[in-house]
Amino acid sequence: MEQVKTVAFHTLGCKLNFSETSTLSRLLEQDGFVKTDFENTADVYVINTCSVTDNADKECRQLVRRIQRRAPESMVVITGCYAQLKPQEIASIEGVDLVLGAAEKFNITEHLKTLTKGNSAKICSCDIEDVNTFHASYSVNDRTRTFLKVQDGCDYSCTFCTIPMARGKSRSDSVTSVVENAVQLAANGVKEIVLTGVNLGDFGKGLTGGKKREESFFELIQELDKVEGIERYRISSIEPNLLSNEIIEFVANSQRFMPHFHIPLQSGNNEILGLMRRRYRRELYAEKVALIKQLMPHCAIGVDVIVGFPSESDAHFQDTYDFLHDLDVSYLHVFTYSERANTPALDISPVVPVNIRHERNKQLRNLSHKKQQYFQEQHLDQTRKVLFESHGKDGMMEGYTDNYIRVTTHFREEWVNQLVDWELR
C-alpha cells in the first residue's frame, strides 16, 4: 500500500473536541503526515464527532457522503462521542474505514499503519467502563485562543445526556501537568487559554478517576494565575453547584482570569430541573449570578438552556422565560431537546411536540439577542482591552474584550495576537 501522506480533519461539537482534534493532528504530523484543508483531496479524513444532538449525527453522515463523491479511495476515520455510542451504526455508513472509540482515538497513528481500504469498517471500541485514562490535549495554531483540556468524563446522571456513556467517568490532569502545559503554551506565544472539560468544576479526580477528589479546580486556577506570559484565562463552562463563592471571588480579584462565566442552567423551573436530575435549584443559580454581578458588574454571563424537555408545559416554559428575563445574564445558548437513545428522559411523558419545541427555542433566542444588545449597550464609550485573532476575513479581523464583547475592525497585521485598548462604540 502506498504510504499515507495527507490528512484532513473536521470537528463537530464542543471546545473539548476542538482541543482533541488539534492533538490528533499533532500526533499524525509527528508521524510524517501532512495536514491539509478538509475541502482538499486527502489520503485520510478524520471526523471527530459529537452526540449531543441528532443534527450532529446527520452532519457526520453528510460529511462522509461528500468525501465519497470527492475522493472515494481515501481512508475515512470516525472518532469522538458518536463513534463511542454507536460504532456499529457508523461502521455501516458506506465509505467509513475505521471507527475509533473513546479509549482508542489517541492511538490513531498505530491504527492507520495497518489500515487498508476494504469493504467493511474496522471498529476499535470498548465498554465505556473500561475508559480509565486521561489524555491532555490543546489546540494550537488554530486560533489565538487555545483550548486546553484539563478534565474529561462525567459522574453526573442528567436524564437527557449521553456524555457519561460517550466519555466515561470523571477524570483529570494534575495541577502540575496543567501548569507545565500553560508554561509551554506561553513560550509558544499563546496569550489566552480557555480551560475546557466535560464537567470542569469536578476537576481533581486524577488520571484514572475515582470518587475521591485529590485536587480541586480552585487549586488549579490559583496556580495557573501565576504563569507568566498568559494574559488571559477563560473558564469554558462550569456547573452552578460546583461554582463556589471562592472561585467567583478569586476571578473578581485576578488580573488574568477574565470576567466571563458560562454557567449551564437547562431550565428555570424547579420541577423540570428535578426531572432532569440537575444538582441544584434555580434559587442557587440566581444566588451565583447575583454574587458575580455584585463583585463584577461588567462580567459577561452565558447560559445553557434546553427547551421542550419531556413534560415541559406552557407554564413550565413561561417560568423559565420569566426567570431568564429577570436574570442579569448576557447571552443564552438555546438547545432544542432531542431524544437520545438509552437516556432516562425517554421514559418521561408527555412528549412535547416538535413544533412547540422549535417555537420555544425561537422565543429564547430572541430573548438572548435582547440580552446581548443590552449588555453591550451598557459598555458603550468604555475603553476595554481587545485580543485580536490571527485570521482575517474579507479584509477584516475580530477579537474579544475581557468581558467577551466581540469587536470587528479592518485587518491590521500589527494587531494580530495583541491586546489593544479599544473604545466600544
Question: How many Å apart are CA 261 and CA 289, to the nearest integer?
Answer: 10
Kindly give, in sequence order, each residue whose CB lies less than 8 Å from that of residue 242, ignoring residues fewer than 6 positions away. Answer: 199, 200, 201, 202, 217
Q: Compute the average pLDDT of residues 293-307.
A: 98
Q: Is the pLDDT of residue 4 over 60?
A: no
- Of 115-119, 133-137, 168-172, 253-257, the poorest mean pLDDT is in 115-119
Question: How many Å apart are CA 261 and CA 256, to the nearest integer?
Answer: 14
pLDDT at 103: 80
pLDDT at 142: 47
Provide the grid cell at 128: 465505556
Instruction: Say which residue, 56 or 164, is predicted with more confidence.
Output: 164
pLDDT at 208: 85
Question: How many Å apart are CA 94 and CA 110, to the nearest integer?
Answer: 23
Q: State the pairing for strand pair 145-149/192-196.
A: parallel
pLDDT at 399: 92
Q: Is the pLDDT of residue 55 over 90?
A: no
**214 and 204 in contact (C-beta within 8 Å)?**
yes
Q: What is the pTM of this model?
A: 0.87
Question: What would the DSSP string read from start to end of 19-38?
Answer: HHHHHHHHHHHHTT-EEE-T
pLDDT at 1: 47
Q: pLDDT class for 130, splitting at 50, 70, 90? A: low
Instruction: Say which residue, 391 or 365, is predicted with more confidence.
Output: 365
End-to-end CA distance of the chain: 59
Q: Compute the average pLDDT of residues 397-411.
A: 94
User: Which among 219, 220, 137 has a CA at the least distance from the CA of 181?
Assistant: 137
pLDDT at 3: 62
- Of 92-96, 116-120, 324-328, the poorest mean pLDDT is in 116-120
pLDDT at 402: 97
User: Which among 224, 137, 140, 138 has a CA at the least distance from the CA of 183?
Assistant: 224
Q: CB burial class (10 A; 0-12, 13-18, 19+) of residue 377?
A: exposed
- pLDDT tens digits for range 23-54: 899 999 988 899 999 999 999 999 998 876 66
How far CA 414 is from CA of 193, 420, 421, in Å, comes to: 21, 10, 14
**172 and 135 in contact (C-beta within 8 Å)?**
no
How far CA 53 is from CA of 49, 56, 347, 381, in Å, comes to: 11, 6, 18, 40
Kindly give, in sequence order, each residue whose CB lies less than 8 Å from that of residue 187, ignoring residues fewer than 6 positions away. Answer: 229
**185 and 200 in contact (C-beta within 8 Å)?**
no
What is the DSSP code (8-state) at residue 395?
T
Q: Is the pLDDT of residue 163 over 50?
A: yes
Kindly give, in sequence order, each residue whose CB lies less than 8 Å from that of residue 118, ignoring residues fewer than 6 positions away. Answer: 97
Instruction: Say which residue, 422 or 162, is predicted with more confidence.
Output: 422
pLDDT at 119: 66
Instruction: Say which residue, 126 or 156, is predicted with more confidence.
Output: 156
- pLDDT tens digits for range 334-385: 999 999 889 999 999 999 999 999 999 999 999 999 999 999 999 999 999 9
Q: pLDDT class for 126, splitting at 50, 70, 90? A: low
Question: How many Å apart are CA 422 and CA 130, to the nearest integer?
Answer: 50
* Other CB atoms within 10 Å distance of the CB of residue 172: 30
